[in-house]
Amino acid sequence: MQGEGPPLIYIPGLDGTGLLFYRQARTLALRFRVITFRLRDEARRMETLVADVARHLDRVVPDGTPAVVVGESFGGALAMSFALAHPHRVARLVILNSFSRISPTLKLHAAIAGISLIPWRAMQLVRRLTAWRLHSPHTHTEEIARFLLLTSATTKHGYLNRLHILTRYDMRPHLAGLRVPTLYLAADQDHLIPSVREARFMSSRAPQATMRILEGHGHGCFLAPDLDLDQILREWHLA
C-alpha cells in the first residue's frame, strides 16, 4: 500500500504480481491509497480469488469505503467478477485489455498442455523473445527488462491454475449486472487478445459503462512512458 486518500486496488494479470503496477502507482499515490497484491497460486476457482480481493480490502480499508478497482487482462475478469459479487465495495471499475470470455476454449487447453510440457525456466526466454507482442511499441527497454525481472517469480502452478479458471469463465450473461460506473480501456495494437472488440461488446452491455481506445499501445501498456492512468481517471470523472 502507498499513498493516502480514497482506496484504489490493482488486480494483476496472468503473471499474478501487483509489482507490475509500479509506474502508475507512483502518480496515483498522490491522490489515492494504492493497494497492490500477488494473486494466490493455489486458487483454482474464480470465487477463491474474489474472496481474496475482499480480504485484502477488509484488511486495508476496514471501514468499507468503496474502492476504485483496476483490473488488467486476467485481472479484468477477476475485477468484474468481484464487482458482481461485492458491488457495495466498488466505487468505480477500470478494465484494461480484458475480455468477456476466451473463445474458442481450445486455445486455452492448448496453452495449458504446452506450458505443462515445457521447462518453466524457458518461460523467461519466451517472454524475452515475444516482448514486441506484449508491450507498446515505444515502451523503453529498461521497462521491459524490469518486467522480465518482476515476472521471474511467477510459478508454473499459479499460471496454469489461472488458465484453468479461464476455461470456465464467461462474463457475457452477467454484464448487465455490473451496476457500477465502468471504464473499458482497450489498446489498438494488442496482439494477444482482441481488446477493442471485447471492450465494445462489454461496454455495450454493462449499463454504466464507457470505453476508450488507447491508440498506439499494446497489451501490457501500463509500462508505456506516455500512459497516465491518473489523467485518464480525471478525464473520465469529468466526462
Model pLDDT for residues 22-59, shown as the tens digit of each residue: 999 999 999 999 999 999 999 999 999 999 999 999 99
Q: Detail the DSSP E strand segments found in 47-192.
A: 67-72, 90-96, 182-187
Burial of 131 (0-12, 13-18, 19+ CB in 10 A): middle
64 in any annotated domain: yes
pLDDT confidence of residue 194: 96
Q: Could you tell me if residue 200 is inside a domain? A: yes
How far apart (Å, rounded) are the C-alpha atoms in residues 80 and 21?
19
Entry pTM = 0.96
The average confidence (pLDDT) of the chain is 95
pLDDT of the residue at 161: 97
Q: If pLDDT is split at 50, 70 and 90, which confidence band does 80 have?
A: very high
Residue-wise pLDDT for 189-224, tens only, equals 999 999 999 999 999 999 999 999 999 999 999 999
Looking at residue 113, its pLDDT comes to 94
Domain with 224 in it: what CATH number?
Answer: 3.40.50.1820
pLDDT of residue 121: 84
pLDDT (tens digit per residue) in 117-176: 989 888 888 888 888 889 999 999 999 999 999 999 899 999 999 999 999 999 999 999
Domain with 153 in it: 7-238
For CA atoms 141, 144, 146, 149, the dihedral sign is negative
Please report, for residues 75, 97, 160, 179, 211, the alpha-carbon distance to residue 81 in angstroms, rounded to integers and kept in the order given.
10, 16, 19, 12, 18
**Could you give the percent of the chain with pLDDT greater than 70?**
100
Q: What's the pLDDT score for residue 239?
A: 55
Phi/psi at 153 (nearest 5 deg)? -85, -5
The answer to whether position 2 is within a domain reads: no
Q: Is 1 among the domain residues?
A: no
> Is residue 190 one of the residues assigned to a domain?
yes
Return all residues near 187 (Cβ < 8 A) that are at least 6 apart: 97, 136, 195, 196, 213, 214, 217, 218, 219, 221
**Region 60-89 average pLDDT:** 97
In a domain, 51, yes or no: yes
Does residue 97 lie within any of the structural domains? yes
Q: Which residue has the higher pLDDT, 98 or 107?
A: 98
User: Does some domain include residue 81?
Assistant: yes
Please tell me the total count of domains within the chain: 1
